[in-house]
Amino acid sequence: MNTAAARASPDARGVVAPFDDLLGRAVSMRALALLRVLAGPVVLVHLRPFLADALDGRIYRDAFYEPYAAWYPEVPRGIYVGLLLLAAAAAVAMSLGLLTRLATTTAFVIVAYNQFLSTTHFHNNRAYLIIVLGLLVVAPCGRELSVDAWVRRRRGRPALDPSAPAWPLWLLRFECAAIYGASGLSKLVDPDWFGGTVTWQRVVRSREQFDAWPLPDWAWSVLTDRGFHTGAAKMIVLTELFIALGLWWPRTRYAAVWVALVFHIAIEMSASVQVFSYLGIAVLVVWAVPSTRDRVLRIDPTARGHRQWAGVVRTLDWLARFRVEPAPPGSQIEVVDRDGTMIRGAPALGLALSRLPLTAWFALPAPLLPAVRRARRAGRDGAFVRAHSPISER
Amino acid sequence: MRRVVVVAVVVVQLGLVARGYWSDHKQFAFQMFPESSTWRATVVRVTADGRRVPIERQWSGYRWDELVRVRGLSYPSIRHHADAGLDNQLAFLEAALDWVASNTPRDRETRYLEATVTSWHNADPPRVGVLRSSVREGAG
């Protein structure tokens, strides 16, 4: 215990200790490792316009720009272009997990430096990217899904512990929720937004853009109807606030993630938001429970179909949710969930697919289907009986 | 230590979100698609002898759309959406006038640049305002 903690009153320690425990508890960094892999392409897309200009011989200060502060250092042209190229190389290395911490730090420092060169560089998606990169720098997220880990294995050295204190994960969760919350709140308190004026005018004034869509006349009539936007704007605001709050509670988390995906895809289709949609979707992985291999997929290794499913799960299980184990010949496919619930057959496959990042959106509603709910209920009862039977107690 | 870092980040982030409600530039405030406001501006160079020359005409080898290429400011006479809100857009336009005034050394006749801005805040009636760059030394 440090001196300050020793001096704190028992009441203060009672509040601070659980907070410290939450931040310091070792959890799996798998989600952040996956986010690191996904963030590399985002950095490249973000850098593309700067690099394209640089290759055409233009940089930011050849035209209007506005420094935040006179003391902010500006480097010579050649070095600036070199930094952009270095950031692109670092982004690739970061995704691959090659010298992970150095690569991530390099990408973060250069992207942030470039952002703060001019107020004109600022966009919300770039701010979010800086936050994500900054938190990836402080999280040891290169110990898996990385060339570094592969090299370590090849050299016969023991793998590094893929778990670490949880505080970067919690901070990233906070930032993720704060972004939806801040956006939703700003619209909620603006009568023009909440009343539908803003969305209605945007649609009406963007008619040329929408003309490219194969929309039937009736759909266009609905979209340009003022009354429609009175309700639609409220839906948008409530959706953002639901995502911001719903992500925090396990009972609403899956729904919030599902809605967030739809929300980002809708934004991407209707507005130019640069890397925001991709980044927003990628960051959702941090809401996965930070533990790995705590579900079991049991397959009959003699059945070709089972082996194929096991292959699918192994390939797409980027968050390392499942252990794949053999079951006796003739068994049905079986999933044992984290709480011991055991389900078999098609419902088991539905549950497995709902826990894989690439198929989650399609399969997340599966656990709501009556057949799957029945199977889970039966599986839970079975798990309860097993847990309390004399055999299991032995 | 980590407790301090986490609390500091949370406080700073919440502070930046709050700052977004009064600042022209809303860095890290995450106010997405804040307005449907639009604007357009007639930008002229006011010369030492009092002439008002539209910036659409090239001068001293300069072109406005080459000097100002970002934030939807290249063609101010065309009505545009104010992507990040009207205050933000007009703050950028004002800064652009100053930058052009300060970074066109071959131009020896312009005293200042002036933008007559017509803006439509969401569905409100249009408002007209004037923005001026700083006065250039040694013009004329």
pLDDT category, A387, cuts 50, 70, 90? very low
pLDDT level of residue A394 (50, 70, 90 thresholds)? very low
Tokens in use for A38?
A: 């996904």
Q: Which of A101, A100, A239, A246 is nearest to A173 (CA)?
A: A246
Average pLDDT over residues A325-353: 90
**Chain A residues touching residue B113 (CB < 8 angstroms):** none
Collect all residues of chain A within an 8 Å Cβ-Cβ radius of residue B122: 192, 197-198, 201
Instruction: Tell me the per-residue pLDDT of B88-139, one tens digit each, with 9 for 90 and over.
Output: 999 999 999 999 999 999 999 999 999 999 999 998 999 999 999 999 887 6
pLDDT score, position A388: 46
Q: What is the pLDDT of residue A390?
A: 40
What's the average model confidence in pLDDT over A308-329?
Answer: 94
Within-domain flag for A21? no
Nearest to B30 among A124, A197, A271 (CB): A124
Q: Over range A331-344, report the average pLDDT.
A: 90
Confidence at residue A269, expressed as pLDDT on a 0 to 100 scale: 80
Q: Which of B6, B22, B25, B37 to mutate to test the interface with A (most CBs of A within 10 A)?
A: B6
**Of residues A302 and A220, which shows the higher confidence score?**
A302
Percent of chain A with pLDDT over 90: 71
| A94-121 average pLDDT score | 97
Say yes or no: A44 and A136 in one domain: yes
Contacts of A170 in chain B (CB under 8 A): 6
Higher pLDDT, A327 or A382: A327
Contacts of residue A277, Cβ cutoff 8 Å, sequence gap at least 6: A264, A265, A267, A268
- Interface with A, mutate which of B35, B36, B120 (most A CBs under 10 A): B36
Pairwise CB contact (< 8 Å): A167 & B2: yes
Q: Are residues A305 and A229 in the same domain?
A: no
Q: Give φ, ψ of A56 to 5 degrees.
A: -85, 5
B31 vs A167, A186, A202: nearest CB: A186
Instruction: Identify the three-state secondary structure at position B76.
Output: coil
> Is residue A279 located within the same domain as residue A314?
no
Q: What is the pTM (predicted TM-score) of this model?
A: 0.90
Residue A23 has pLDDT above 60, yes or no: yes
Q: What angle do CA B84, B86, B88 make, to 5 degrees?
A: 55
DSSP symbols for B24-68: SS-TTT---S----EEEEEEEEEETTS-EEETTS-BTTB-HHHH-
- pLDDT number for residue B140: 60
Domain match, A224 and A135 both: no
pLDDT at A293 over 70: yes
Residues 41-70 of A with CB under 8 A from B: 63-66
User: pLDDT band at A141, cuts 50/70/90?
Assistant: very high
- Least Cα distance to A317 among A10, A25, A30 occurs for A30
Confidence band of A15 (pLDDT split at 50, 70, 90): confident
Is the CB of residue A159 less than 8 Å away from at least one CB of chain B?
no
A135 and A237 in a single domain? The answer is no
Q: What is the pLDDT of residue A5?
A: 47
Q: What is the DSSP letter of A285?
A: G
Is the pLDDT reported for residue A393 higher than 70? Answer: no
Number of domains chain A is built from: 3
Residues A38 and A160 in one domain: yes
A382 and A338 belong to one structural domain: yes
Identity of the residue in A120, A182, A187 whose CB atom sits nearest the CB atom of B17: A182
Whether residues A54 and A142 share a domain: the answer is yes
- Which has more pLDDT, A367 or A289? A289
Q: Strand, helix or coil at A122?
A: coil
Q: Mean pLDDT across the stretch A19-31?
A: 92
pLDDT at residue A27 in the model: 95
pLDDT of residue A365: 82
pLDDT for res A137: 97
**Residue A268 binned pLDDT confidence (cut-offs 50, 70, 90):** confident
- Classify strands A163-165 and A26-28 as parallel, antiparallel or unpaired: antiparallel
pLDDT at A363: 85
Q: What is the mean pLDDT of residues A83-112?
A: 98
**In this predicted model, which residue has the larger pLDDT, A375 or A120?**
A120
**Domain encompassing residue A379:** 295-393
**CB atoms B99 and A65 under 8 Å:** yes
Contact A87, A34 (CB under 8 A): no
pLDDT at residue A1 above 70?
no
User: Does residue A13 form part of some domain?
Assistant: no
Please tell me the predicted confidence (pLDDT) of residue A373: 75
Return the pLDDT at A10: 65
A203 contacts in B (CB within 8 Å)?
none
**pLDDT average, residue stretch A135-157:** 95
Indicate if A32 and A151 belong to the same structural domain: yes
Domain limits, chain B:
1-29, 33-132
Return the beta strands (E) in chain A as ranges: 26-28, 163-165, 295-299, 322-326, 334-336, 342-344
Q: Is residue A10 part of a domain?
A: no
Question: Is the pLDDT confidence value at A153 over 60?
Answer: yes
Does residue A170 sit within a domain?
no
Is pLDDT above 60 for A307? yes
- Res A3 pLDDT > 70: no
Asked if pLDDT for residue A205 goes beyond 90, the answer is no
User: Could you tell me if A265 lies within 8 Å of chain B, comparing CB atoms?
Assistant: no
The answer to the question of residue A11 being in a domain is: no
Which residues on neighbouring strands pair with residue B113, listed in sequence order?
B45
Domain match, A148 and A51 both = yes
Q: What's the gap in Å between the CA of B34 and the closest CA on chain A?
A: 7
pLDDT of residue A275: 86
Residues A183 and A233 in one domain: yes
Identify the bridge partners of residue B129 per DSSP, sorted by sequence position: B117
Task: Take residue A325 and report the two structure tokens written for it.
Answer: 């184990």
Crossing angle of helices A100-115 and A30-55, rounded to 10°: 50
What integer pLDDT is reported at residue A221 of this predicted model? 84
The answer to whether residues B74 and A123 touch, using CB atoms and an 8 Å cutoff, is no
More confident residue, A3 or A357: A357
> Under an 8 A CB cutoff, do B31 and A183 touch?
yes
Q: Cα–Cα distance between A184 and A188 in angstroms, integer? A: 6
Same-domain check for residues A221 and A141 = no
In this prediction, what percent of chain B has a pLDDT beyond 70?
98
> Residue A196: inside a domain, yes or no?
yes
Whole-complex ipTM:
0.92
Instruction: Establish if B43 touches chain A: CB-CB under 8 angstroms.
Output: no
Average pLDDT taken over every residue of chain A: 89
Q: Is residue A8 part of a domain?
A: no
- Report how many Cβ contacts below 8 Å link chain A to chain B: 102
